Every structure is written in structure tokens, then in C-alpha cells.
Structure 1
């Protein structure tokens, strides 16, 4: 394993977005933790929502006085093939789970657990990739509290994959889920719900006029291959079948029957721990080959994502399954209305008809109707966008997540270990 690098951040910088009561609660909770030492473990330092959250959460926990490290697993490509299959299986894919796959997982997770030599009071293992470290860590560090943070919706998990996860939960002291129902299928561990959040101060989320240098260049509309004066539909997500990019293209074609000059941008990253991404990208590329106004963009810098979410007239998150979808809160924060699948954590962010629209995940025509209605009504787009920004301000910004983790740490360490 190796340490992920983060930039120093100050909780005081968030004062414009934090109520005084919340700010005081954060500092009080941190002071009561004393010398508690924490590590977060995942499989990649870039790409995907987990890494994005940790890039803000870890330095802010350090800033308020909680000694926190972020460790990234070292693993061969075949391990990521296996963990992608596990991820898909936990979301309902019925593919076979072989003994060879299980052995690859066991070998890599044990090796990474053995590589951890520093002592921590709490280790937070993110998602199934790192969960397999738990038995070895519990044996090596019996006094360490082990927390599993599952970002996946387990409500329709394939039994073989769910049983595999369950087999590693005995050493886990607490499991965190995005929604309470995500953890209903597992047993033998205390569970708590914590919603993800976005960071309003990052290059992905701050106002464009606050960007400079390379970030400002990445946000320049001239850097994009489409016409910012024409209507733009946008979906930002991994190239993943659960995000239904092919369904987005189908909905786009329906939209163009009413608003023919509409453009579509499908934007995604290629994270190190997602070997399936390039395969899905090629399928989407083939589906869009005859549509010159469908643009596929990969690995854009954060400032470019920021600009796209602001230039877009409508953002989609047409997921078939979804843990949370940070991209929904990101777009709402920028005042851009979102049409999202009525699955997972998306309804947590979208109040249908109030700050955006929810659609049945397989409903192509319904998705197109909602997008068309928004493209044809400037006032509706503006009103939904304004409400969406306030939803995020109230519920889904980083300071609230910092407070939630401090509360969790106090609970699992019985109020902290004062030094």
C-alpha cells in the first residue's frame, strides 16, 4: 500500500457555506477525540466518487485535529477484474463467481493488510475492494476499530457475491451505508447511514470566475467540441453499463425530434480500478458513430467538468442502479436542472418536480419528455436550478460530511482516546 497525497485545506475556508452552529459542532467534536488516529483505505487516488470525497475529507479531518491518513492498495490488473465483477454482482449482475476469482481477491487483500504496519485507532475500509483486509488487520491489530464504508446499493445483490461480502464482516465493528436500506441484506454488524457530499471549494465546484491558469483554460468554452450557443444535454459518469449511456443516446435521439439542434455530451473518467470502462466506451462510441452532435469526452480536468455542468441546459443521471451519484449534487449546485433515474441515492437529492425530475430508469420516452420540456422552458429550468442549489447547500456539502465522520469516530471510539 502507499499513501495518497492530498493538499492542505482549512475548515475555516468553508465559513460562507457553514452555519455557526455547525462550525461549533465540528470543532467541539474534534476536540473530544483527543489523539485518535485514523486511516482510510481504498483502491485509487483518482477517478470516481470515493477518491473525490477523500481528497477533501482527509485533509479537513487533519485540519480540525484528527490525525488521518489515506492509504491506497497496491494490486495487479487481475484483482481489479475480480473486484469489478464483485461490484457488478452486488448490484445485481448474475455472472459466475469462481474459486479462482475468490483466491485472487484473498491473496491481494491479505498482502495489502500485511503491508500495513502503522497502528491506528480506526481504519475505514472503503467498498468491497478493501473489505478483505479486515480479518488480517483484526488479527494484527486487535485493538483497532474496523469500519466498512460501502458506497454500493446492496438491495438486489446476487446471493453468491453477497455471501462473499458477508463472510468478511465478522471483524467489522461498524458498517456505513448511503441509505439504511442498502445494508438490510447483511447481518451481524452495527450499521449507520451517512450521505456523501461535494466540496464547493474544489476546481470542480467553485465559480468559474475564481479559476485561473490551467484551470481557467480547461473551463474555456472554446476548448469543447460543441457549440455552447445550442442546447446541450450532458451526462457525466464512468463508462459503466449501470449508468446506461446507451439509453442516454436513445433518449437524446427522441429529444432531437422536438428540439433538433440539441447536442449531447457523454463525459467519463477511466479510473485505475475499473477495467470494464474501455469496453463500455467502445460500445458507446459505436452507438454514436453516426451522430455528429454526440460527443464522448474522457478524463477531463475538474475545471472542465465544472464548466460543462454550467454550460449544459440539462444534466442527466440516467442510472439503472446507483449508490449516490455525486454528479447530481454537482450539477444542482451549479443551478442546472437534473433528470435522474429513480434509483438508489438519486431520489435523496432530487425532489421530483421541485428541484429536478425523476424518471423510471428504463423509460427512454419519459426521460426524453422531461428533457424536452426543460429545453423548451427557460423559466422552468431556472426555477428548478435555483431550488436545486439550495438543496445542496442545506444537505450535501463537505462540512456536513466532516461532522458526520467526527460523530462516527466518537461513537466507535467511545468518545475518543484523550492524550
Structure 2
């Protein structure tokens, strides 16, 4: 069976035909993706779906994961924070760690492919160490609307050596870099363990394994434990909601290999849960289990995404695809997915009381939740499935290679 056949009932014959037509022009090319983690985080998840799919339809596609010591990932985490506007000053030694790690990786990694697709700042400096380059694309998944000037100036020296740059939102386009730019929105794979169909009984059984009963309404946020996702703020919102209606909160996050700050923040969240008035109604889980994510998004009455900054926030589409309404911050790529009043509500990230007010509204109105859930699934199916992302990638590759 063709690898795309299973998508046909969701997206239609025309989309599949367009993908296959573009595939034919790339079958003699060799493409490779480079990032800094094979598990944890949205980039690794996208690559885990798209790279096998590209190979299955006949495009030779590889994946390289940048290797580095904890010190390197400490530097790149600060770089990530700085790109999202946090003032950070990098020492000469930190820049040396960053640059040398990229150099070391280049010495045992051949990147002589027809097209090299580099994801995010961690491996961006690799471009300096391959003099016989073909086509190199830089894909930044981070919010670049207001980066810290000194950090951006440093990273820009590498980006300017790429043939093309891709971002997730029009507000991330930069006027101060040389390569042409385009916008590609991320998307979800409906057939992964995280998004595949699951019966209600399967969902209930999965949640019970982690001590979550469905005897009262569930509010959840599913994100890595990162200060930009504001898990401490989510607990505060829940405390407001819990004063008005009986419910429970599940905070589920996974550790990412390239985020050394995650464990420390998780400990801060644990401490706030211990001090919370309604601590017995808060479930705090840190692990990588996509079936649990699937079950929780389906069982939740409301999903929150209280991000302070968000490159795209694909977890919003994941929940909407499962017909669960979302109350989320009006930042980054979230408004592209969430149409306020139609499939959820957009709230300013610091407005805890408004988050609570709209969450309560949804908890008390089953018909509203159902109506928003139907709209959410339809919106995601039309705009944020992996077949659309694959088409966008193929367009980019054809433009560069043909």
C-alpha cells in the first residue's frame, strides 16, 4: 500500500496527487535534516514522522542529531531564551563552547547532500565548516519577533551564509538577514500514537494507570516544563477555577534532551503544587508517553496553553483535532490555530483571571464544548495535517534544487 493511502480519507485524492507529482522531481536527490535532539520537543516529533514518510514515498532523506556536552546545551538554552527577548550576555568562553561543538560535530559528519535542512540555533554554526556546500536551508522554529539584539547579531552571522531561511509566522520574518525567507506552519501527524484514534474506554484505562480518574472534569496543560510555558501560572489559574467548580488539573510534560533547565523548573512546580490549596486535585507528571498525551487530550474538558512566548504551539492543534476546546495565550503561532470564540478562547498570557473565567465558562457548558470541539477538528484537518506540511517542504525543496 502506498504510504499516503491512509491520508486520502482525511485530505482527499487531489492533495495526494500533488504530493506524488512533486515527489517525482526529487527522486534523484538526497536530503538530510540536522537538529539537536531525537526525542522531546516539537522539532524531533515532526522529524520522526516526516523523515520516514519522505523515504517511503521515494525521496532519500536522512537525519543527523548534533552531539554536545551539557555545557553546550546550557549555552544553547540561553540562546533560545535570548531569541525570545530575554536579555542574555554570552561570554567569549560560551561562544567558544557553541562554535567548537559545531566544529567537532562537522569533523565526523558528512553533509555533502543535495540539500541540508538545519533546524534551530543549536546546529546553525555548522554552515561554517562545509566549504563544498550545495543547498543549505535554515529552519527556525523559535519566535524571532523581538530577539535580544546582541544574541541575534551573533546568530545572524551564520544565518546569512544559508541559501534560504524558513520561519513559522509572518511576524518572525527578518529584514536584517541576507537569505530569502518563507513561512511554513508546522502540522500534526494524525496516525502517530499521540494522535491516532482511541476509544473512550482505552483513554480511561490509560489515565487510570497514572492515577487519573474521570470522576470530575479535567483541565490539562501538556508541554515541556519550561518557563515560557508558564506552568506556575497554570496552577494559579486552576486555583481560581477550583474555587468556583469541582475539577482537577493535570500538568503533563516531557523532558527534552537539549533542555537542561527542565528538571529545575519541574522541582519549582512540585513545590508550588505542595503549597496549593487544592493540591489533592493536581496531577503532576513528567515523562514521555504519547499514548498518555492522546488519552489526556481526549479526556480533558478544557486544554490550556498558557505560554508567555510560543514559536507555534502545535499542542493546540493536537487538542483541537481531538475535539477538545482550548484556552490559550494570544502569542506566536497559537492564533493561527485557535479562532477565539469558535474553537476556544485567546487570552493575554498574564491575565490569569480571564484564563480562569473562560475555562469555567467551558466547564459549565457541555453544548459549547461540543460545538467548539467540532469546529476545532475541522479547522485542524483543513490546515494543520502533515500532508500540508509535506507539500510545503516539497515546494521549498523543488525551488532550491530545480
Q: Distance in 1 between matches of 2:271 and 2:299?
A: 26
Q: Which residue of 2 aligns with 1:136?
A: 129
Q: Which of 356, 369, 382 in structure 2 is aligned with 1:381?
A: 369
Report if the CA contact (8 A) 1:9-1:59 is conserved: no
Counterpart of 1:285? 270
Match of 2:252 among 267, 271, 290: 267
Q: Is the 8 A contact 2:27 2:60 kept in 1?
A: no
In structure 2, the residue matched to 1:188 is 178
1:336 aligns with 2:324: yes
After superposition, what is the alpha-carbon deviation per residue over 1:283-310, rounded to whole angstroms, capped at 9, x for unaligned? 1111111312111101141111100001
Partner of 2:380: 392
CA offset digits 1:93-150 (Å, max 9, x no partner) = 112211111100000011112222252000000000010111112x1x23x1000010
Return the alpha-carbon distance in structure 2 between the equivalents of residues 295 and 254 of structure 1. Answer: 17
SS at match of 1:84: helix
- Give CA deviations for 1:375-416 in whole Å, capped at 9, x if unaligned: 0100001100110000110000011111111111000112xx
RMSD of aligned Cα (Å): 1.7
Note the C-alpha offset of 1:83.
Answer: 0.4
Matches within 5 A, 1:6-405: 10-137=3-130, 139=131, 141-142=132-133, 144-184=134-174, 186-209=176-199, 220-259=206-245, 261-290=246-275, 291-405=279-393
How far did 1:184 drift? 2.2
Instruction: Structure 2 unaligned segments of length 5 or more: list them.
Output: none
Unmatched runs of 5 consecutive residues or more in structure 1? 1-7, 415-419
**Matches of 2:9 and 2:260 in 1, distance apart?**
40
**1:4 maps to which residue?**
none
Could you tell me how far apart the structure 1 residues matched to 2:64 and 2:205 are? Answer: 31
**What is the TM-score with the length of structure 2 in the denominator?**
0.96
Secondary structure at 1:133 match in 2: helix
State the TM-score, normalizing by the size of structure 1.
Answer: 0.92
SS state of the match for residue 208, structure 1? coil
Question: Matched residue of 1:220: which SS?
Answer: helix
1:219 shift after superposition: 5.5
Report how many aligned residue pairs link the two structures.
Answer: 399
In the alignment, the residues of structure 1 paired with residue 350 and residue 54 of structure 2 have an alpha-carbon distance, to the nearest angstrom, of 40
Partner deviation per Cα, 1:156-183 (whole Å, 9 max, x = no partner): 2111111111011232001010012212
Name the SS of the counterpart of 2:31 in structure 1: strand
The answer to whether the Cα contact below 8 Å between 2:305 and 2:327 also exists between their aligned partners in 1 is: yes
Instruction: For 1:334 and 1:150, locate their aligned partners in 2 and report how far apart those are by CA, in whole Å.
Output: 27
Question: What's the counterpart of residue 3 of structure 1?
Answer: none
SS of the residue corresponding to residue 79 of structure 1 reads helix
Query: Taking structure 1 as reference, are residues 219 and 194 closer, same or farther at Cα in structure 2, changes over 3 Å only?
Result: farther
